[in-house]
Amino acid sequence: MKTIQFREAICEAMSEEMRRDESIYLMGEEVAEYNGAYKASKGMLDEFGAKRVIDTPIAELGFAGIAIGSTMTGNRPIVEYMTFNFSLVGIDQIINNAAKIRQMSGGQFKCPIVFRGPTASAGQLAATHSQAFENWFANTPGLKVVVPSNPYDAKGLLKSAIRDDDPVIFMESEQMYGDKGEVPEGEYTIPLGVAEIKREGTDVTIVSFGKIIKEAYKAAEELEKDGISCEIIDLRTVRPLDKKTVLESVKKTNRLVVLEEAWPFGNVSTELTYIVQSEAFDYLDAPVVKINTADTPAPYSPVLLAEWLPNHESVIKAVKKVMYKK
């Protein structure tokens, strides 16, 4: 094993796949000459050249459409958005073209494309640069949605996403690019749609994904001091959703808390709550509790932002609620 940063894991995954398959190319703002806005494509222009690592204008609708169209002629593009907030400019291409090409062509065309970049908040970036759109994309049939939380998962999942014959939304975080973790020296992939139990426990199941899962780890450490054993599941992929792993855990612990950085109305945690009450109701010893952001645009003020975001104290409070403890 070796220890690398999250950004290096992303770069390694893309580079390894591009060496393996010449139909793969990277396109986006500042991915080439600048080595990526977050240095996640460092050195790739030098290795693969300007025909396969392509700087674009600030025109998300345009380059998303070019990339999607190129899949119909045998290419497998990776599109980097500087942030998924900017994907809204090109969302018509993602929802109405990428997600629907296979069905609307009667299976004559597939659309092997990865849209990747950071999601959710990253400090004082204010309302229009702090939004989480995982559930928006996950709501769309035809798209797969991946949200890794560490370098190991990021590399293995991104390699699988690039090899997938359907469009994949691969969502990262500005605040994770510097995170370090161990990854194998050799080749490995992680299948899409498979969650992982990151911490074994017996009293309560906590489900999360992406960078916010760090707050669940902090909470579990504190709760352990009070004799409460938390099982933590990292979904890793939110579409397809690995409900089997969640249901098996809930049947063991009999309690569920879902932590998600998203607005509270109609999100991934809402769907999980429905699935568990529908398929494991008799196993529940308490109502499911979901933890989300406040139901407002993200504030710029650091004081208000701290109140807006869920944190480990929010998780501790939720766990004690389902445990009927004060």
- The amino acid present at 235, given as its one-letter code, is L
Domain count for the chain: 2
Distance CA 55, CA 45 (A): 10
- Six token digits for residue 128: 């229009």
Catalytic residue among 17, 29, 60, 261: 60
189 assigned to some structural domain: no
**pLDDT digits 0-9 by tens, 15-47:** 999 999 999 999 999 999 999 999 999 999 999
- Given 129, 172, 215, 312, the catalytic residue: 129
Banded pLDDT at 207 (limits 50, 70, 90): very high
Are 204 and 166 part of one and the same domain? no
At 239-280, the pLDDT tens digits run 999 999 999 999 999 999 999 999 999 999 999 999 999 999
Are 142 and 38 found together in one domain? yes
pLDDT of residue 210: 98
Neighbouring CB atoms inside 10 A of 124's CB total 13
The stretch 204-220 carries a mean pLDDT of 98
The CATH number assigned to the domain holding 314 equals 3.40.50.920
Same domain, 145 and 104: yes
Question: Is residue 326's pLDDT more than 90?
Answer: no
Residue 188 domain-assigned (yes or no): no
Contacts of 250 (CB under 8 A, 6+ apart): 205, 256, 276, 280, 283, 284
Rounded Cα gap, residues 233 and 236, in angstroms? 9
Q: What is the structure's pLDDT at 208?
A: 98
Going by pLDDT thresholds of 50, 70 and 90, the confidence category of residue 283 is very high
pTM: 0.97
Same domain, residue pair 170 and 216 = no
Q: For residue 159, give its domain range.
A: 2-183
| pLDDT at site 108 | 96
Q: What is the mean pLDDT of the chain?
A: 97
Domain presence at residue 191: no
Residues 25 and 132 in one domain: yes
Percentage of the chain surpassing pLDDT 90? 100
Give the model confidence (pLDDT) of 94-151 as tens digits.
999 999 999 999 999 999 999 999 999 999 999 999 999 999 999 999 999 999 999 9
Residues 73 and 156 occupy one common structural domain: yes
Residues 163 and 234 in one domain: no
Percentage of residues in the chain having pLDDT higher than 70 = 100
Whether 60 is catalytic is yes
Q: Are residues 257 and 114 in the same domain?
A: no
Q: Which of 226, 144, 156, 164 has its CA nearest to residue 184?
A: 156
Q: What is the pLDDT of residue 205?
A: 98
